[in-house]
Amino acid sequence: MAVMTMVEAIRAGLGAALEGDERVLLLGQDIGVNGGVFRATEGLQERFGAERVVDMPLAEAVIVGSAVGLACSGLVPIPELQFLGFGSQAFHQIEGQVARMRFRSQGAYPMPMVLRAPFGGNVRTPELHSDAHEAKYVNAPGLKVVMPATAHDAKGMLTEAIRDPDPVLFCEPLRGYRLISDEVPEGDYTVPLGRARTVREGSDLVIVAYSAAVVVATRAAERAGEEGYSVGVLDLRSLVPLDVDALREAVAGCGRALVLHEAPLSAGFGAELVATIQEEAFWSLEAPVLRVTAYDAPYPPGGIEERYVPSVERVLAGVRTALEA
Amino acid sequence: MAVMTMVEAIRAGLGAALEGDERVLLLGQDIGVNGGVFRATEGLQERFGAERVVDMPLAEAVIVGSAVGLACSGLVPIPELQFLGFGSQAFHQIEGQVARMRFRSQGAYPMPMVLRAPFGGNVRTPELHSDAHEAKYVNAPGLKVVMPATAHDAKGMLTEAIRDPDPVLFCEPLRGYRLISDEVPEGDYTVPLGRARTVREGSDLVIVAYSAAVVVATRAAERAGEEGYSVGVLDLRSLVPLDVDALREAVAGCGRALVLHEAPLSAGFGAELVATIQEEAFWSLEAPVLRVTAYDAPYPPGGIEERYVPSVERVLAGVRTALEA
Amino acid sequence: MGAGVTATDAAAAPRCLLAPDGTVADGHVPALDDAGLLDAWRAMRLSRTVDARCFSLQRQGRLGTYSSVNGEEAAVVGSAWALDPARDWVVPQYRELPAMLRQGYTLVRALQYFMGFPAGNHMGEGVNLLPYQISLAAQIPHAVGLAWGLRHQGSDGVVCCYFGDGASSEGDAHEALNLAGVRRAPVVFVLKNNGWAISTPVRRQTAASSFADRAAGYGMPGELVDGNDLLAMHDATTRAVARARAGDGPTLIEARTYRMGPHNTSDDPTRYVDAAELEERRAADPLVRLRRHLDARGLTDDAAEAALEAEHKALVDAAVAEAEATPPLGPAAMFDHVFARPPQRLDDQRAVAEAADPPEMP
Amino acid sequence: MGAGVTATDAAAAPRCLLAPDGTVADGHVPALDDAGLLDAWRAMRLSRTVDARCFSLQRQGRLGTYSSVNGEEAAVVGSAWALDPARDWVVPQYRELPAMLRQGYTLVRALQYFMGFPAGNHMGEGVNLLPYQISLAAQIPHAVGLAWGLRHQGSDGVVCCYFGDGASSEGDAHEALNLAGVRRAPVVFVLKNNGWAISTPVRRQTAASSFADRAAGYGMPGELVDGNDLLAMHDATTRAVARARAGDGPTLIEARTYRMGPHNTSDDPTRYVDAAELEERRAADPLVRLRRHLDARGLTDDAAEAALEAEHKALVDAAVAEAEATPPLGPAAMFDHVFARPPQRLDDQRAVAEAADPPEMP
Ligand SMILES: Cc1ncc(C[n+]2csc(CCOP(=O)(O)OP(=O)(O)O)c2C)c(N)n1
Ligand SMILES: Cc1ncc(C[n+]2csc(CCOP(=O)(O)OP(=O)(O)O)c2C)c(N)n1
Ligand SMILES: [Mg+2]
Ligand SMILES: [Mg+2]
Residues of D in contact with C5 (CB under 8 A): 6
pLDDT at position D11 = 56
Q: Contact, C231 vs C79, CB < 8 A? A: no
Phi, psi angle pair for B157, to nearest 5°: -80, -30
Residue B7 CA: distances (Å) to CA of B130, B148, B154, B184:
17, 12, 9, 12
- Angle, helices D302-324 vs D107-115, to 10°: value is 50
Q: Is the pLDDT of residue D4 over 50?
A: no
pLDDT at position A72 = 98
pLDDT tens, position by position, D277-327: 999 999 999 999 999 999 999 999 999 999 999 999 999 999 999 999 999
Q: How many A from CA of D195 to the centre of ligand 4?
A: 6
Cβ of D289 closer than 6 Å to ligand 2, yes or no, is no
Residues of D in contact with C213 (CB under 8 A): 216-217
Residue A32 CA: distances (Å) to CA of A49, A56, D204:
9, 9, 12
Higher-confidence position of D11 and B153? B153
Active site residue ranges of D: 259, 263, 272
pLDDT tens, position by position, C139-190: 999 999 999 999 999 999 999 999 999 999 999 999 999 999 999 999 999 9
pLDDT tens, position by position, B210-240: 999 999 999 999 999 999 999 999 999 999 9
- Across the interface, whether the CB atoms of C217 and D209 are under 8 A apart is answered no
Residue C110 CA: distances (Å) to CA of B1, C48, C105, C289:
48, 15, 8, 27
Decide: helix, strand or coil at residue C262: coil
- Across the interface, whether the CB atoms of D218 and C209 are under 8 A apart is answered no
Cβ of D283 closer than 6 Å to ligand 2, yes or no, is no
The pLDDT confidence band at residue D358, using thresholds 50, 70 and 90, is: low
End-to-end CA distance of chain B: 44
Q: Is the pLDDT of residue D8 over 50?
A: no
Decide if the complex's ipTM is over 0.85. yes
pLDDT at position B183 = 98
**CB neighbours (10 Å) of residue C193?**
27
Q: Cα–Cα distance between B22 and D71 in angstroms, integer?
A: 45
- Angle, helices B6-20 vs B151-163, to 10°: value is 30
Show the beta-strand stretches assigned E in chain D.
89-91, 159-164, 187-193, 196-197, 200-201, 222-226, 251-256
pLDDT tens, position by position, A52-110: 999 999 999 999 999 999 999 999 999 999 999 999 999 999 999 999 999 999 999 99
Decide: helix, strand or coil at residue C358: coil
Q: How many A from CA of D168 to the centre of ligand 2?
A: 10
Residues of B in contact with D351 (CB under 8 A): none
Q: Cα–Cα distance between B152 and B160 in angstroms, integer?
A: 12
The pLDDT confidence band at residue A325, using thresholds 50, 70 and 90, is: confident
pLDDT at position C362 = 38
Q: Cα–Cα distance between D220 and A13 in angstroms, integer?
A: 48
pLDDT tens, position by position, A105-137: 999 999 999 999 999 999 999 999 999 999 999
Q: Cα–Cα distance between D233 and D98 in angstroms, integer?
A: 14
Q: How far is B261 from chain A (nearest CA, A)?
A: 13
Residues of C in contact with B35 (CB under 8 A): 271
The pLDDT confidence band at residue D14, using thresholds 50, 70 and 90, is: very high
Give the number of C-alpha atoms closer than 13 A to the C-alpha of residue B257, restricted to the C-beta side: 32
Longest dimension (CA), chain B: 59
Nearest to C216 among D7, D173, D181 (CB): D7
Q: How many A from CA of C276 to the centre of ligand 3?
A: 19
pLDDT tens, position by position, A296-318: 999 999 999 999 999 999 999 99
**CB neighbours (10 Å) of residue D75?**
36
Q: How many A from CA of B105 to the centre of ligand 3?
A: 39
pLDDT at position B86 = 98
Q: Contact, C215 vs C221, CB < 8 A? A: yes
pLDDT tens, position by position, B255-282: 999 999 999 999 999 999 999 999 999 9
Q: Contact, C214 vs C189, CB < 8 A? A: no
Phi, psi angle pair for B262, to nearest 5°: -85, -10
Q: Cα–Cα distance between B197 and C130 in angstroms, integer?
A: 47
Handedness of CA A304, D130, D175, C266 (dihedral sign): positive
Distance from the Cα of residue D22 to its chain's centroid: 24
Decide: helix, strand or coil at residue D55: helix
**Mean pLDDT for chain C overall:** 94
Q: Which helix (H) or strand (E) holds C254?
A: strand C251-256
Cβ of D164 closer than 6 Å to ligand 2, yes or no, is yes
What DSSP designation does D225 have?
E
Give the number of C-alpha atoms closer than 13 A to the C-alpha of residue C232, restricted to the C-beta side: 28
Handedness of CA C127, C133, C138, C140 (dihedral sign): positive
Please name which of B229, B146, B228, B156 lies closest in space to residue B191, comparing C-alpha atoms: B156
Q: Contact, A107 vs C337, CB < 8 A? A: yes
**Mean pLDDT for chain B overall:** 97
- Across the interface, whether the CB atoms of C118 and B300 are under 8 A apart is answered yes
Q: Cα–Cα distance between B243 and A34 in angstroms, integer?
A: 50
Q: What percent of chain C has pLDDT over 90?
A: 94
**Mean pLDDT for chain D overall:** 94
Phi, psi angle pair for B98, to nearest 5°: -50, -50
Decide: helix, strand or coil at residue C67: coil
What strand order describes the sheet that includes C159-164?
Answer: C89-91, C159-164, C187-193, C251-256, C222-226
CA-C94 nearest atom, ligand 1:
21
Q: How many A from CA of D166 to the centre of ligand 2?
A: 6
C8 touches chain D (CB under 8 A): yes
Please name which of B150, B125, B130, B132 lies closest in space to residue B7, comparing C-alpha atoms: B150
Angle at D25 between CA D20 and CA D30, to 5 degrees: 100
Cβ of A150 closer than 6 Å to ligand 2, yes or no, is no
Angle at B140 between CA B134 and CA B143, to 5 degrees: 80
Cβ of A125 closer than 6 Å to ligand 2, yes or no, is no
Question: Is the preceding omega at residue C118 within 30 degrees of 0, hence cis?
Answer: no
pLDDT tens, position by position, B291-323: 999 999 999 999 999 999 999 999 999 999 999
Q: Is the pLDDT of residue D360 over 50?
A: no
Residues of A in contact with C121 (CB under 8 A): 104-106
| CB burial of residue C308 (10 Å; 0-12, 13-18, 19+) | middle
What residues of chain C score a pLDDT lower than 50?
1-10, 359-362
Q: Contact, A211 vs A148, CB < 8 A? A: yes
Of residues B92, B129, B133, B261, which has the active-site annotation? B129
Q: CB within 6 Å of ligand 1 — which residues?
A: B 29, 58, 82, 86, 89; C 95, 134-136, 164-167, 194, 196-198, 259, 263
Q: Cα–Cα distance between B163 and D241 in angstroms, integer?
A: 35
Please name which of B136, B312, B122 lies closest in space to residue B233, comparing C-alpha atoms: B312
What DSSP designation does C18 have?
B
Dihedral angle of Cα B12, B15, B16, B19, to the nearest 10 degrees = -160
The answer to whether B129 is a known catalytic residue is: yes
pTM higher than the cut 0.95: yes
Q: Is the pLDDT of residue A7 over 80?
A: yes
Q: What percent of chain D has pLDDT over 90?
A: 94
Decide: helix, strand or coil at residue C173: helix
| CB burial of residue D254 (10 Å; 0-12, 13-18, 19+) | buried
Summarize the confidence of residues D214-238 as an average pLDDT.
98
pLDDT at position C11 = 56
Q: Is the pLDDT of residue D3 over 60?
A: no
